[in-house]
Homo-oligomer: A and B are copies of this chain.
Amino acid sequence: MGLGVGIVGCGLIGRKRAAALAGHRLVACTDLLPERAGALAAATGATAVGGWRELLTLPGLDVVIVATTNDSLADISLGALEAGRHVLVEKPAARTVGELDTVAAAARRHGPLVRVGFNHRFHPALRKAHELFRQDAIGELMFVRGRYGHGGRPGYDREWRADPRRSGGGELIDQGVHLIDLAGWFLGDFESVVGSAHTYYWQMPVDDNVFLMLRTRPGQMAFLHASCTEWKNLFSLEVYGRRGKLHVEGLGGSYGTERVACYRMLPELGPPDTTIWEFPRGDDSWRAEFAEFAEDIRLNRQPEPGLTEARKALSIVEQVYQASGYPGGAKVQA
């Protein structure tokens, strides 16, 4: 009869999650704005409750989805684990490594599973790209290039993401962590971190651009840039192997049709053989991700990406913020 799910945070992401439970059922929801919780409850038949602590006391609740602003991701996850619920927490899962470690300790202590919502891994083009990589379509990896960004909107610098206490940082901790997570999915752990965060355009104390050079022990490079001054929305991940290249572009909508190209070199080199798959039918990553979590729970299997992967990404975020003069995600005034 499926899992009982509670959602904390009924904003854009919480509503996407509610619509993508893959056959499981929404039991309850809550939001700092009661009318948002009420609207979602009315649309789904769930119960709206007054706060996340109350939600955690409800019967029939197997999974808690934490889809709040970044400043309460860790606290609510912690509470849910202590209440014995499995947790799907949105990326970045916490504002800092320190926050995250309290969640990890609770998970070890209490037992439930934690999945971290790096949903990009579940986009169809990225799933296809990783599958091709695992099938050895392009050989041993050399480097990854990633570009990800959007152009903001009027008032973007007055939204919660621009407030370091709520967000823990700017573009790096928002879209940048997706690039870091995806690059690590292909390349493995990064041993060396070089990065540079900047606030070029928006009137805010957090970064609007970040440039990264992450290196694995064998020397493979992830060369990544995330930006919220990327005037024409862009997602591009290029993965280079010794025998070819995978290129994922687009995420649907304003990011353009999602596609993956596979370029395979022939022994005589020259232009590569090329096959391209396009996915114009929209983003089903949320549904696929939740279905995977349900399977984790059924098999009592450690989710991946989970707290381990989130910790790796957050550790890189912290190092870059520290080195760029944004300790804690906020720019130090000159």
Q: Which residues of A contact B (CB under 8 A)?
A: 142-143, 145, 147, 151-154, 194, 196, 198, 200-201, 209, 211, 213, 215, 219-221, 223, 225, 227, 229-232, 240, 242, 244-245, 254, 263, 265-266, 268-281
Contact = CB atoms under 8 A, between A and B. Distances in A.
A245 B230 CA distance: 8
Contacts of A201: 142, 242
A154 B266 CA distance: 11
How many copies are assembled?
A: 4
Given A200-B220, A232-B263, A275-B277, 6 more contacts: A142-B201, A151-B269, A154-B268, A196-B215, A227-B240, A274-B279
A145 B142 contact: no
A217 to B, nearest CB: 13
A127 to B, nearest CB: 14
15 contacts: A142-B209, A143-B198, A151-B272, A154-B268, A196-B213, A198-B221, A211-B213, A223-B223, A231-B240, A232-B245, A232-B280, A266-B281, A271-B281, A273-B278, A273-B279
Given A194-B213, A213-B213, A276-B276, A153 B270 contact: yes
Nearest to A281: B271
Nearest to A151: B269
A22 B242 CA distance: 31
Contacts of A266: 281
A162 to B, nearest CB: 15
Given A143-B200, A211-B221, A221-B196, A270 B275 contact: no
